[in-house]
Structure 1
Amino acid sequence: MKKVLITGGAGFIGSNLALLLLSRGYEVTVLDNLSPQIHGEDAENASPLFLSIKNRVNFIKGTVTSKTDWENAINGQNIIVHYAAETGTGQSMYEIARYTEVNIQGTALMLDILANSKHNVEKVIVASSRSIYGEGKYYSDELNTYIYPKHRVSEFMDNGDFEVKYQGNVSPLKLVATDEESKIHPSSVYGITKQNQEQMIMTVCPTIGIAPVAFRYQNVYGPGQSLSNPYTGILSIFSTLIRNKKSINVFEDGKESRDFVFIDDVVHATYLGIVNNEANGQVFNVGSGVPTDVLTVAEMLIKHYDIRVPLNISGNYRTGDIRHNYADLNKINKTLGFVPAVDFETGIAKFVQWVNEQQISDDKFEESIAEMKEKGLFK
């Protein structure tokens, strides 16, 4: 029986993976600080995510910024799944020290222990992110080549022109799926930290006899995700606004798109990386492989909740946000046999059904926007 440590294992993805591993006979240890931003103020008694694994895993309340907590958690483990991280592109642009301390230094502490002490760890899986790609991959008919546009600038966005640009290219660019060989050029501090995490683990682990695997997750959603965190999770943010009967501020022109992947598919893909040696030393995209624009998301949620609220396509934008990005899944399909099983229409229905069973959360979105506006990061 393998012993698996999941850092951030009381979180959305981590707790779902823990439950799957328990059902398959693994012994699971979770290291988590039960962050109030994700779990609320009384996490140990009121967080549904934590309660789903409470008394079923070996739980260590601690932080990845503590070497002692890491040493206690790593002891006796065979596999580490590293999820613990500060998340959210917008917040990362003004809480830079916190994001780098947790995401980069926390990962460095783990690797330092693995490199300099005796242990039983044979594989490390890291949750990377589509954010490391920055803007996605495009094709230019005019230039007859694939290109990777630079980050968008205020000069155009202030005038309502939100599409990506490329020097010397006049005709519109064609969005294509982003594969694992695409250019890495994150547009946020969060993306930079995820790139750093991935590169450290993929570089260090092979030198000390540990198999690394990195999964570049797209936008993960589904039953169980935090409804109170205003900094990440567009489906949760929109759902809270709708249930509070407030209008939805759709940023840009509403045509910006994301690849929304259902939680069950993400957990399944990760499990395949745990059990298959073919995954060792590899980096994989995990997504649905389908782009969905933000306006469509808002309209679908309104339809499923059957609550009419105004949609305000405002032209507002956040510094660091990308225009488009969706995953090319050829590699993970050919290597691990992964095929996403839940389409967005089915997934959003399951999500809404679960949300309707929860208490209506207070809307803290405007507070988060006010923070960004004060920092000059919301236009």
Structure 2
Amino acid sequence: MRVLVTGGAGFIGSFLVDRLLTAGHTVRVLDALDPQAHPHGPRAYLAPEAELQVGDIRDRGACDAALGGVDVVVHAAAAVGVAQSLYRVEHYLDVNVRGTATLLDAIAARGGVERLVVLTSMTAYGEGPYRRPSDGRVQRVAARSEPDILRWGWEPVCPETHEALVAVPTPEDAELTGRNVYALTKRYQEELTLSLGAVYGFPVLCLRLFNVYGPRQSLANPYTGVVAIFLSRLLTGQPPVVYEDGGQTRDFISVHDVTAAVAAAIERPLPGTGVVNIGSGVPRRIEDVARALARVAGLPDVEPRVTGQFRRGDIRHCFADVHRARAWLGFAPRVSWEAGIAELAREAAERPVRDGVAGAEAELRARALLTERLPAPKGVSHS
């Protein structure tokens, strides 16, 4: 099979290229080599057996050339990161929405493809669903605001009874309530690709990735993901910076498991088109993540700096319901959290590292997107 991977020189894309080549596929990569992710050009780890076409997803000519002779497309090219999207709105819309539209125009002009797999994001969900303990009702809650936090604490409460809620897994049919710019662009990617696939008659599968981590993740880009950001801090002699009280949770999945899921989406017969969650199904507290990384980095005595600050737009909890991934793709994660972060720590120790957190925080403060430490409401502790 001949596969085009947009963004194939990046963190996830390069591992996917390796897997596809090993499986005997012919692979072409279209990548702009954005300096934020590739400050020194193509990485040495990009497999030479893959055909690299340096070009921008927003360039119709580049898309037309990259699609020549291709059977399947994996669209992984994107501007990533929630925080940066809040002050680079035009860039995120341009790359993620216009870039996807340009690729779709090129696909439509050639009459479609055998299959299109799109890597999207769990950020589209916003806050995950919650169960109300008093009666078991599952509900969604509005995005938190500073007045909410000052009154009720960090955890969302039921707007009717004001009781503390319990986070539950997020299924694919949950309403998409994410309102940050990055989340909206990834949602638009899904809607555009699913719509064009239905019109032109080619199957589309959107994989909503939860928090991906692993080797090759940038250790210099402060918007790449919390695991790499924490590890970069530790390897430069700084404690991880944890916002809120550290009790917020995310669902982490190894890049190796993600590429296995993408390969299944390419190779397996599909029951239909639509969206599939790709996560572990396990929520992890962010403070615990920081401590676990300190341990595998050989720095178990380094305590995370829990700031009590609120980054506007951040959710509290969201983790995957993974039943559809099992049913549609036969997929279940195989890399344990402990093994995955240990592998990352070993690989990261051999690479140059730069801590960019201070600069990223300065950008947020300049735009009033990061609060000062919020006082805990009466009876509620931030620690």
Q: Give your verdict on TM over 0.5.
A: yes
User: Structure 1 residue 38: deviation in Å?
Assistant: 1.1
Alignment of 1:32 onto 2:31: yes
**Structure 2 letter corresponding to 1:52:** Y
CA distance in 2, matches of 1:355, 1:158: 39
Match for residue 90 of structure 1 among 83, 94, 100:
83
CA distance in 1, matches of 2:360, 2:149: 21
What SS is found at the alignment partner of 2:327? Answer: helix
Aligned to 2:297: 305
- Structure 2 counterparts to residues 190-229 of structure 1, below 5 A: 190-229=182-221
- Structure 2 counterparts to residues 87-166 of structure 1, below 5 A: 87-115=80-108, 117-119=109-111, 121-142=113-134, 144-157=136-149, 161-166=153-158
Deviations 1:316-362 (A, max 9, x none): 12112111111010111122211111121121111111112223x12
User: Structure 1 residue 159: deviation in Å?
Assistant: 6.6
CA distance in 2, matches of 1:118, 1:156: 51
Cα contact 2:111–2:200 (8 A) shared by 1: no
Deviations 1:292-324 (A, max 9, x none): 011101111111112233422111121121111
Aligned to 1:331: 324
CA distance in 2, matches of 1:174, 1:160: 15
User: Structure 1 residue 231: deviation in Å?
Assistant: 1.4
CA distance in 1, matches of 2:269, 2:360: 42
Deviations 1:36-95 (A, max 9, x none): 11122x223xx3xxx222532111111111111111111211111001010000000110
Alignment of 1:186 onto 2:186: no
Larger helix percent: 1
Cα contact 1:76–1:120 (8 A) shared by 2: no
Cα contact 1:7–1:83 (8 A) shared by 2: yes
CA distance in 1, matches of 2:161, 2:270: 40
Match for residue 339 of structure 2 among 343, 346, 365:
346
Runs of 4 or more above 4 Å deviation: none
**Structure 2 letter corresponding to 1:356:** A
CA distance in 1, matches of 2:73, 2:312: 34
Alignment of 1:259 onto 2:251: yes
CA distance in 2, matches of 1:314, 1:347: 27
**Structure 1 letter corresponding to 2:64:** E
Unpaired segments ≥5 residues, structure 2: 372-383
Aligned to 1:43: 41
Aligned to 2:48: 55
Deviations 1:99-136 (A, max 9, x none): 00000011111112222x22562111001111010000
Cα contact 2:92–2:185 (8 A) shared by 1: yes
**Structure 1 letter corresponding to 2:259:** V
CA distance in 2, matches of 1:158, 1:75: 56
CA distance in 2, matches of 1:126, 1:280: 15
What SS is found at the alignment partner of 1:106? Answer: helix
Deviations 1:144-174 (A, max 9, x none): 4211111110113357821123321322111
Aligned to 2:20: 21
Deviations 1:227-246 (A, max 9, x none): 11101311111111111111
Q: Alignment identity in percent?
A: 34
CA distance in 2, matches of 1:18, 1:86: 19
**Structure 2 letter corresponding to 1:68:** G
Cα contact 1:152–1:165 (8 A) shared by 2: no
What SS is found at the alignment partner of 1:165? Answer: coil
Aligned to 2:310: 317
Aligned to 2:285: 293
Aligned to 1:273: 265
Cα contact 1:143–1:169 (8 A) shared by 2: no
Cα contact 2:217–2:224 (8 A) shared by 1: no
CA distance in 1, matches of 2:232, 2:133: 42
**Structure 1 letter corresponding to 2:57:** V
Normalising to structure 2: TM-score of the pair? 0.93
**Structure 2 letter corresponding to 1:256:** Q
CA distance in 1, matches of 2:265, 2:47: 25
Unpaired segments ≥5 residues, structure 1: none
**Structure 2 letter corresponding to 1:235:** V
What SS is found at the alignment partner of 2:270? Answer: helix
What SS is found at the alignment partner of 1:9? Answer: coil
Cα contact 1:6–1:81 (8 A) shared by 2: yes
Aligned to 2:63: 70
Aligned to 1:5: 4
What SS is found at the alignment partner of 1:354? Answer: helix
Cα contact 1:129–1:215 (8 A) shared by 2: yes
CA distance in 2, matches of 1:17, 1:175: 32
Cα contact 2:17–2:47 (8 A) shared by 1: no
Judged with a 3 Å threshold, the aligned counterparts in structure 2 of structure 1 residues 249 and 53 are, in CA distance, closer, same or farther, namely closer
